[in-house]
Chain A
Amino acid sequence: MRDTADRARSQAVPQEPDDARSLLAALIALPGSGLRSVIRSAAMTPGRLTIIAIGLAVLTALASITASLAVRDRSDTMAELTERREPLAAAAQQVYRALSDADATAASAFLATGEEPAELRQRYEDDIAMAGSSLSKAASDPAATLRMTAQIDVISQQLPVYTGLVETARANNRQGFPVGASYLREASALMRSVILPAAEELYRTDTERVAEQQDDAGGFPVLAMLVVVALLAALVSTQRYLTRRTNRVLNVGLVLATVAIGIGVLWSVAALTVQSVLIGAGKDDGTEQVDLLVKARIAALKARADETLTLVARGDGGGYEQEFILLSSRLAGDDGSGGWLAEVKATATDGTRLASEVSAAQDSAVQWLRAHADVRELDNAGDYGDAVRLAIDGGNPDGAAVAFVALDDHLRAAIDEARQSFFDDTTAASRALTLLAPGWIVLGVVAALGVGAGIRERLREYR
């Protein structure tokens, strides 16, 4: 009984797919029959003309929309560059700089005899505050990679530990306990071996992303260009076909369409050329200079910390001095006329503020290296007190402190200047593209109308 029911069911089942199959066949046949009817009508001239008109209109719409989107995309890329990417890189740079400066300043303040100088304390506290608020800015990047987040994590976790160690050092130092110097050196070691490398990595990643985005914004929009060229070719060959068919030299509508698309092409080429030149300028005179200047500034700060830590170490600071020599030669060469400063100087245009700031920085570097040599000479000869005074006295115009602060100020001004050029160039590049995106839509509409009008004129001749 049950068996028969099953059999009946199994017999009934195949019937359904049979219906479905015929439906599917009809569906597949539909484009085929459509194509056949199109081919049939295309064999006759009026039908062919309609198809050409539709094809041209579709191609026009496609070309103008693609071009418009490509332009919009670039404008967005540039807006993001000036409004988000570069500020993020600048924030990362601030973190890096503020932390290096805190390290150098804490050591200077430590060296002062008696009460800690209020201005050094202030500078240290400002650095820590600056580092904290720049860090939260740098951390606000929604597109941050895992690696970047990891670096931010390291800094956020270790910065409070660092400040704790510095305060322990101060408290001990105030009581005259030599263990204070050990705490300070431990703090500095933490800063240099853990926190600063993370800050550097973060800064480096952010800077690389700026460069990538600049390349993106300056690249050639291949797809849009291909579609536009295809459209132009189609327009030209349609006109040649019509000329052959009707012996009329020009079709006003199609000429109008061709001219509209031609204007779009010329406009785009001009605007894109101007834009990519400006983006390039923003890179060469802006971000690349900023990068070199930041490297120089950080090297200067680290070297300054080395200079003071050599004195804090009190006879045990040979390692710091070696690092000073290495960093200062990277910064300014062995005599103050080489290194990164000279590299920036070589690429800066003469007569600009950037060039003058970099020259001033070079002069300060020479003065600092001279003062440093004096400090080392005094300390090596055993005049520790005089060495410390020469190293940290902010009132001595020949001292290391004054020369270093001047160097740091000039480098900061130079970085601001280079950032400004980046911003100016990139904003100008962005302006070069204004109106081009809506322009393409307008030109596309004009071209489509031209195509329609032109073909309709011909079609009318067949009625």
Chain B
Amino acid sequence: MSRRLLAVLAGALLLAGCGSAGEPPNLTPRVTAERPTPANAEVSPEIDDVGSAADDCGDPTASLRPKGLATPRGSTMAEIKKRGILRVGVDQNTFLFGFRNPTTGTLEGFDIAIAQEIADALFGDPNRVRFKAITSQQRIDVLRDGAVDIVVRTMTINCERRELIEFSSVYFVAGQRVLVTKRSGYTGLDDLAGKRVCATTGSTSLVNIATAPSQPVPVAVDNWSDCLVLLQQGQVEAISTDDTILAGMAQQDPTTHVVGPRFTSEPYGVGIPKEDTDMVRYVNAVLQEVREDTWQAEYDRWIEPALGPGTPPEPTYE
């Protein structure tokens, strides 16, 4: 009897000793870091189909033939001279084309140099320019409401835009390519099937990514630099847009490079209000001189290190 009792007691003690009394509170449940993204970044955004109906205007790059550097009374140029300053819409964020040098506080780049050449022709002083920083979406509006005289901002000449504004002759030809990290081994958009590729909201580059045969996933951001942020944070595999812009990014991050062939042709022109045809001819005359004179030096200064040698594009006139 007492032995049985002892056995029961021992069993009870054993059970109490073995049984776990629960677990201590878990102080660090698994926490995973969430990477931030630039404001308004959007994966697979809805893309407006760009009107291809306007693509039948012949050669959109054919501009008005230059008629020398005279500035007759009553002309647009005379008005600008009277004002004493040339107002130019530019970019402040595109490295190598139009960007603000934070050390000196001044705007620099290939586009800026073109604008300064025009000011130099008008005033004999390249610094009589008032730069207005504008976004890509504002380029046509600022010309139409007269906020600026010209726009020099990596602006592709196309039929759709020519219905709204005038363009100078082509001063640079860019093409869409792809920027990837060197380690990734990608060689073009074809390698990026199902991978995230970044471009700015509303750009033709974004449409080109979305419609590419390899079907990459487009990611839209506000600003080209935001794409580089996404690439550096490992949230996109590639950036695809004009090689000129990509060259600027490759310069900011030596672990990246521009790959693949140009799969579009983007002829850049100076944007001018539709009614200022005299200004178009004047700017074309200036560009004529620039092609023979300073174009190569500016190209070699800004673009050559990233994209290799290049020559000025031949203008076409109506």
Contacts and interface: CB of A to CB of B under 8 A. Distances in A.
Does B bind A?
yes
Interface of A: 113-114, 157, 161, 165, 172-183, 185-190, 193-194, 314-316, 380-385, 388
B39 A314 contact: no
A316 B223 contact: yes
Given A113-B105, A315-B132, 5 more contacts: A176-B101, A178-B99, A178-B248, A185-B39, A316-B222
B36 interface: yes
B103 A179 contact: no
Interface in B79-130: 87, 91-95, 99-106, 130
Taking each of B31, B93, B131, B134, which has the highest tally of chain A beta carbons within 10 Å of its own beta carbon?
B93
5 contacts: A113-B104, A179-B249, A186-B39, A315-B92, A385-B105
A180 B103 CA distance: 13
B130 A382 contact: yes
B102 A173 contact: yes
A319 to B, nearest CB: 9
A152 B103 CA distance: 39
Contacts of B133: 314-316, 382, 384
B225 interface: yes
Contacts of B249: 179
A316 B202 CA distance: 14
Interface of B: 31, 33, 36-39, 87, 91-95, 99-106, 130-135, 138, 222-223, 225-226, 228-229, 232, 248-249, 252-253
Nearest to A164: B36
B85 to A, nearest CB: 9
A193 B37 CA distance: 11
A182 B130 contact: no
A190 to B, nearest CB: 4
A183 B229 contact: yes
A277 B248 CA distance: 68
A179 B225 contact: yes
B229 A179 contact: yes
A189 B39 contact: yes
A187 B222 CA distance: 15
A194 B35 CA distance: 12
A180 B102 CA distance: 10
Contacts of A189: 36, 38-39
Contacts of B37: 186
A383 B87 CA distance: 11
Contact of B103 (A161, A165, A176): A176
A351 to B, nearest CB: 46
Contacts of B102: 113-114, 173-174, 176, 180
A189 B221 CA distance: 13
A315 B134 CA distance: 5
Nearest to B133: A315
A153 to B, nearest CB: 9
Given A186-B226, A315-B132, A178 B104 contact: no
Contacts of B253: 179
Contacts of B87: 382
**Per DSSP, are chain A's interface residues mostly helix, strand or loop, or mixed?**
helix
A156 to B, nearest CB: 10
A388 B31 CA distance: 41
Given A314-B93, A381-B130, A385-B105, A182 B226 contact: yes
Contacts of B222: 316
Given A113-B102, A161-B33, A177-B95, A185 B38 contact: yes
Contacts of B93: 178, 181, 314-316
Nearest to B129: A382
A60 B100 CA distance: 84
Contacts of A172: 252
A181 B93 CA distance: 8
Nearest to B85: A382
A180 B252 CA distance: 10
Contacts of A157: 31, 33
Give 8 nearest A-B pairs by CB, closest first. A315-B133, A113-B105, A314-B92, A182-B225, A189-B39, A382-B130, A177-B252, A382-B132
A179 B134 contact: no
A178 B36 contact: no
Contacts of A383: 130
Given A185-B39, A190-B36, A315-B135, A178 B252 contact: yes
A232 B92 CA distance: 84
A173 B101 CA distance: 9
Nearest to B136: A316
A173 B223 CA distance: 16
Nearest to B138: A315
A385 B93 CA distance: 15
Given A179-B229, A182-B226, A114 B104 contact: yes
A316 B229 contact: no
Contacts of B248: 178
Given A113-B104, A314-B92, A182 B132 contact: no
Contact of A186 (B36, B101, B103): B36
A351 B36 CA distance: 49
B135 A181 contact: no
Contacts of A314: 92-93, 100, 133
Nearest to A177: B252
A187 B37 CA distance: 9
Nearest to B105: A113
A190 B100 CA distance: 25
B37 to A, nearest CB: 7
B228 A179 contact: yes
Contacts of A174: 102
B101 to A, nearest CB: 5
Contact of A165 (B36, B91, B99, B134): B36
Contact of A182 (B38, B100, B105, B131): B38
B104 A182 contact: no
A187 B36 CA distance: 8
Nearest to B38: A186
Taking each of A183, A185, A382, which has the highest tally of chain B beta carbons within 10 Å of its own beta carbon?
A382
A254 to B, nearest CB: 59
Nearest to A189: B39
A114 B36 contact: no
Nearest to B233: A186
A183 B223 CA distance: 11
B252 A179 contact: yes
Contacts of B138: 315
B94 A178 contact: yes
A312 to B, nearest CB: 10
B229 A182 contact: yes
Nearest to A313: B223
Contacts of A381: 130, 132
A173 B132 CA distance: 21
A250 B226 CA distance: 93
A176 B93 CA distance: 11
